[in-house]
């Protein structure tokens, strides 16, 4: 129940009302009795009045008093017409109503709104002297802005309505013309709820078709940040089709500066998202701007999203590889020879032969690198037919190798052999890294009298690791022609979270085909498992062509993330390496002291400079362990080049600087379907209505029939105000002091 005294409004419940009244009557009676019994009636009377005043305030606070201020509008009731001026309004899919076009012409959404607002449909409302009608655009992109700023411009329906409610306190109704495709700010339903509380109905008029325009859109290109000069890099891309037919077309990748290009024939299925990739060979060092494009298909309505530019850097790089083996089998010999002759690879070999002892000669080391500063230099480690103990590696060394992969982003390659020594790795720290489950009862593996082939999986067909040909069209033919293998490891199945690139062509079990080539991510590093030791046989008839290419690609793929940005004392890598605005980037760093050992004490500071020149500093958190690993995160706010500078403490002389390129994906896109469901929900919440273009005449009548808006009412709760509490405490303190002065204890 409510009652008011002028501007003071009380909202007690029946219980608190009667309890308060009874309490006040009882306290008043006791106060009168105390005054009558007292010999100092004036002093006692003043104290009892003060006591009753404190009790009265407490009771009134239980009745939840509020101070009400009513603002009477000094102008006519207002009707606001908001119309969408975002870039999605340029989509040409709006059908004019019959009143404006006898043929119901299809025009851009912006033109539809312009013609409707300029027509006679709103004239009766504008000429009505009882209302003040005004038009206001929202989410218009900034004029003369650079492309990076325009890419961040979106549609904020909630913000537009919020601003309208704050600036106008005499609104009778709001008419909203929009496609409903909001992509920035909070959900627009929140603004509709505010309108409901103020009894302001929203009349929403959807503009545009809720079916996507016929279009081919290169929605994403996830190219690596760098590649090795003279080697192929894989450029994955995604094309979104809204056409009603399959499209056979040509995707073209072109260097903007040199004009060199590569093409690939593709077939884009109707109405689906198509994922593919194209190979590109880097020929020069430094940064190159490439453009991926497809021709405009017949019937396609939007042409500007058929191409996308990105930047990739070419590097000449030297990788450090460690090969650990127990016997000089053929696979080991040819891997060593292939890597040894690769000008971009520096290889060290550790031969742990059980009878003959350590291997010796050019490229051999005599012992396992026990110091962290010696081990951390290796980008990739090959583990052959080597186990724990019995002349192999120790458990402590296995722990170091695991830390090298997980904390230092190195890669590790497992190539088991006929002796089955790798079985002992299962119960070691390296066991978690092995991406397959091995059959301990068949440690010697399986041998066949005839050679067996391996078949690429769907993932393997699209992987750069298995790209042995110069073109993707040649690759399946090459794999079918490769010599087979006679022995393979006792693999049962691949573990969860792994990528199976190739399987046994002839052998299977209850889990399916036997995995032969498996990869996985472990911490910051990568793992590869090859289930046979006959890749050296790929040399038959072609010498080193395919064998050399395969292992070279393995080494570079596994070391890609580790070598994103490597300096003298800091190695920096980040995920994702091609972020978009709104993505959170994880920075990982490995820091070293002046002797090359992992940093034990010290801070890694990172200065991040955004494309608009603003710089902020973050401190990376140190990870547990002895590997000098640090990590941190920051958010990409805009597209363009982000400059990242990492230093140890204030030692800028040994810091590292790199550039992170954020892809300029536009938030506001043309050609996307309208979302009338959003507008319908807003209209329902605000007690308004969703109207189509042909029902605009009814809209005018409904608005004219609305009652005048109620005066704005502002209530200030006194029961929860700190001022009320302070006054009550002051009165209680005064009452206590008065009792002492009166001699009452």
Architecture of domain 216-308: Sandwich (2.60)
The total number of residues written for the chain in this structure? 745
Domain 565-662 sits in CATH at: 2.60.40.1930
Q: Please, which residues have CB within 8 angstroms of residue 123's CB and are 6 or more apart in sequence?
A: none
Q: What is the pLDDT of residue 464?
A: 82
What is the gyration radius of the CA atoms in the chain, in angstroms? 38
**pLDDT at res. 437:** 94
Q: How far apart are CA 707 and CA 593, in angstroms?
A: 77
Tokens read off for 324: 């650990």
Largest CA distance in the chain: 126
Q: Could you tell me if residue 256 is left (phi over 0), alpha (psi between -120 and 50 degrees) or otherwise beta?
A: alpha
Architecture of domain 319-558: 3-Layer(aba) Sandwich (3.40)
> Could you tell me the residue ranges of all domains in the chain?
3-71+715-741, 78-210+673-710, 216-308, 319-558, 565-662
Q: Where are the alpha helices (DSSP H) in 426-513?
A: 458-461, 475-481
pLDDT number for residue 145: 62
**Residue 731 CB partners (closer than 8 Å, separation 6+):** 50, 53, 54, 57
What does the alpha-carbon distance between residue 466 and residue 499 come to, in Å, rounded to a whole number? Answer: 13
Preceding peptide of 231 cis, ω within 30°: no
What pLDDT, on a 0 to 100 scale, did the predictor assign at position 721?
81
> 527 with 520: CB under 8 angstroms?
yes
Q: What is the pLDDT of residue 712?
A: 66
Which residues partner with 629 through β-bridges?
Answer: 590
Rounded distance between C-alpha atoms, residue 387 and residue 398, angstroms: 10
The pLDDT of residue 220: 84
β-strands 584-591, 3-5: how paired? unpaired
With tokens 């004009």, the residue in question is: 259
Antiparallel, parallel or unpaired: β 380-383 and 319-325? parallel
pLDDT in tens, 307-318: 988 888 888 878
- Provide the pLDDT for residue 383: 94
d(CA 322, CA 346): 9
- Environment class of 593 (CB within 10 Å of its CB; exposed 0-12, middle 13-18, buried 19+): middle
580 class by beta-carbon count within 10 Å (0-12 exposed, 13-18 middle, 19+ buried): middle
456, two tokens: 């690429």
Q: Which of 581, 574, 608 is nearest to 662 (CA)?
A: 581
Selection from 610, 601, 659 nearest residue 630 by Cα: 601
* Dihedral sign for Cα atoms in the order 238, 240, 243, 246: positive
DSSP state of 141: P
What distance in Å separates the CA atoms of residue 231 and residue 229, rounded to the nearest whole number? 6
Residue located via tokens 């547990």: 624
CA distance 120 to 557: 66
Predicted TM-score (pTM) of this structure: 0.66
83 burial (CB, 10 Å; 0-12 / 13-18 / 19+) is buried
CA-to-CA distance for 553 and 547, rounded, in angstroms?
10
Q: What does the pLDDT look like over 459-490, one tens digit per residue?
A: 888 788 888 887 777 888 898 899 999 999 99
Euclidean distance between CA atoms 8 and 717, whole angstroms: 10
Q: What is the DSSP string of 181-219?
A: ---SSS-THHHHHHHHHTT--EEEEE-S-SSPPS-EEEE
pLDDT of residue 324: 93
Whole-number pLDDT of residue 513: 93
The dihedral region occupied by 121, where left means phi > 0, alpha psi between -120 and 50, and beta the remainder, is alpha
Which residues, other chains included, contact 347 with Cβ-Cβ below 8 Å and sequence gap of 6+?
A: 320, 321, 322, 323, 336, 339, 340, 363
Q: What is the pLDDT of residue 685?
A: 93
Q: What are phi and psi of 321, to 5 degrees?
A: -125, 140
**Per-residue 3-state assignment (H helix, E strand, C coil) for 694-710:** HHHHHHHHHHHCCCCCC
pLDDT score of 693: 62
**Rounded to 5 degrees, what are φ and ψ at 59?**
-65, -45
- Looking at domain 78-210+673-710, which CATH architecture does it have? 3-Layer(aba) Sandwich (3.40)
231's enclosing H/E stretch is none
Per-residue pLDDT, 503: 94
Helices (H) and strands (E) in the chain, counts: 16, 41
SS3 732: helix
Tell me which residue of 133, 94, 138 sits closest to 116, measured CA to CA. 94
Extract the residue ranges of the chain whose pLDDT is less than 50. 745
Query: CA–CA separation, 485 vs 457, rounded Å?
Result: 18
**Number of other CB atoms surrounding residue 376 within 10 Å:** 24
Round to the nearest angstrom and report the end-to-end CA distance of the chain. Answer: 41
- Closest to 88 measured CA to CA, from 191, 203, 158, 178: 178
Same fold, 216-308 and 565-662: yes
Q: For residue 591, what are the CA distances in angstroms to 55, 225, 400, 407, 572?
A: 68, 22, 17, 11, 9
């Amino acid at each position: 129940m409510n009652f008011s005294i002028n501007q003071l409004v009380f909202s007690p419940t029946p219980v608190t009302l009667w309890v308060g009244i009874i309490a006040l009557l009882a306290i008043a009676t006791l106060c009168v009795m105390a005054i009558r019994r007292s010999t100092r009636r004036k002093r006692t009377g003043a104290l009892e009045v003060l006591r009753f005043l404190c009790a009265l305030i407490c009771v009134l606070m239980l009745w939840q008093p509020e101070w009400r201020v009513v603002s009477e509008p000094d102008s006519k009731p207002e009707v606001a017409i908001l119309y969408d001026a975002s870039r999605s309004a340029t989509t040409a899919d709006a059908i004019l109503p019959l009143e404006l076009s006898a043929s119901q012409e299809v025009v851009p959404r912006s033109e539809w709104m312009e013609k409707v607002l300029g027509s006679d449909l709103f004239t009766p409302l504008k000429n009505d002297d009882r209302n003040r009608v005004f038009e206001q655009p929202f989410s218009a992109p900034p004029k003369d802005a650079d492309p990076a700023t325009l890419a961040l411009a979106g549609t904020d329906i909630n913000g537009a309505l919020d601003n309208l409610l704050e600036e106008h306190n005499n609104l009778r109704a709001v008419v909203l013309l929009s496609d409903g495709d909001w992509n920035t700010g909070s959900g627009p339903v929140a603004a509709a709820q505010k309108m409901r509380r103020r009894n302001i109905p929203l009349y929403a008029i959807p503009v545009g078709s809720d079916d996507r325009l016929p279009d081919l859109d290169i929605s994403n290109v996830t190219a690596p940040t760098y590649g090795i000069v003279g080697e192929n890099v894989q450029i994955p891309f995604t094309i979104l089709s809204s056409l009603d037919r399959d499209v056979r077309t040509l995707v073209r990748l072109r260097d903007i500066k040199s004009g060199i290009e590569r093409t690939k024939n593709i077939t884009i299925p109707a109405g689906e998202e198509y994922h593919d990739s194209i190979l590109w060979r880097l020929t020069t060092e430094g940064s190159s701007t490439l453009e991926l494009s497809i021709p405009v298909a017949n019937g396609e309505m939007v042409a500007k999203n058929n191409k996308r530019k990105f930047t990739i850097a070419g590097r000449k790089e030297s990788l450090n590889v460690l090969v650990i083996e127990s016997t000089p089998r053929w696979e080991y010999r040819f891997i060593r020879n292939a890597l040894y002759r690769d000008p971009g690879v520096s290889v060290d070999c550790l031969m742990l032969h059980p009878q003959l002892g350590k291997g010796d000669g050019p490229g051999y080391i005599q012992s396992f690198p026990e110091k962290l500063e010696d081990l951390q230099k290796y980008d990739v480690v090959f583990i052959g037919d080597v186990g724990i103990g019995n002349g192999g590696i120790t458990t402590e060394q296995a722990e170091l190798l695991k830390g090298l992969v997980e904390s230092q982003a190195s890669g590790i390659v497992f190539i088991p052999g006929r002796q089955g020594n790798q079985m002992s790795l299962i119960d070691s720290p390296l066991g978690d890294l092995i991406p397959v489950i091995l059959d301990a009862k068949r440690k010697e593996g399986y041998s066949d009298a005839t050679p067996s082939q391996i078949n690429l999986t769907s993932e393997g067909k699209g992987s750069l690791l298995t790209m042995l040909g110069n073109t993707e069209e040649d690759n399946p033919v090459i794999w079918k022609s490769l010599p087979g293998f006679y022995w393979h490891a006792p693999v049962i199945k691949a573990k969860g979270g792994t990528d199976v690139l190739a399987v046994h062509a002839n052998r299977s079990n209850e889990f399916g085909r036997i995995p032969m080539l498996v990869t996985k991510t472990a911490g910051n590093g990568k793992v590869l498992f090859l289930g046979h030791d006959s890749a050296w046989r790929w040399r038959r008839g072609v010498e080193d062509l395919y064998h050399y290419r395969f292992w070279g690609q393995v080494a570079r793929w596994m070391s890609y993330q580790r070598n994103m940005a490597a300096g003298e004392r800091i190695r920096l890598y980040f995920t994702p390496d091609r972020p978009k605005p709104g993505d959170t980037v994880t920075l990982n760093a490995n820091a070293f002291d002046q002797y090359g050992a992992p940093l034990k004490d010290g801070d890694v500071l990172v200065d991040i400079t955004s494309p608009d020149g603003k710089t902020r500093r973050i401190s990376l958190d140190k990870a547990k362990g002895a590997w000098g690993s640090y990590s941190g995160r920051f958010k990409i706010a805009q597209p363009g080049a982000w400059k990242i500078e990492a230093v140890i403490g204030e030692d800028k002389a040994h810091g590292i600087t790199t550039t992170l390129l954020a892809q300029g994906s536009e938030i506001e896109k043309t050609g996307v379907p309208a979302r009338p469901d959003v507008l319908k929900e807003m209209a329902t919440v605000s007690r308004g209505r969703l109207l189509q273009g042909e029902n605009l005449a009814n809209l005018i009548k409904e608005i004219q029939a609305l009652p005048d808006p109620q005066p704005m009412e502002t209530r200030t709760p006194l029961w929860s105000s700190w001022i009320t509490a302070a006054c009550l405490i002051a009165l209680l303190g005064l009452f206590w002091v008065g009792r002492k002065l009166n001699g009452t204890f």
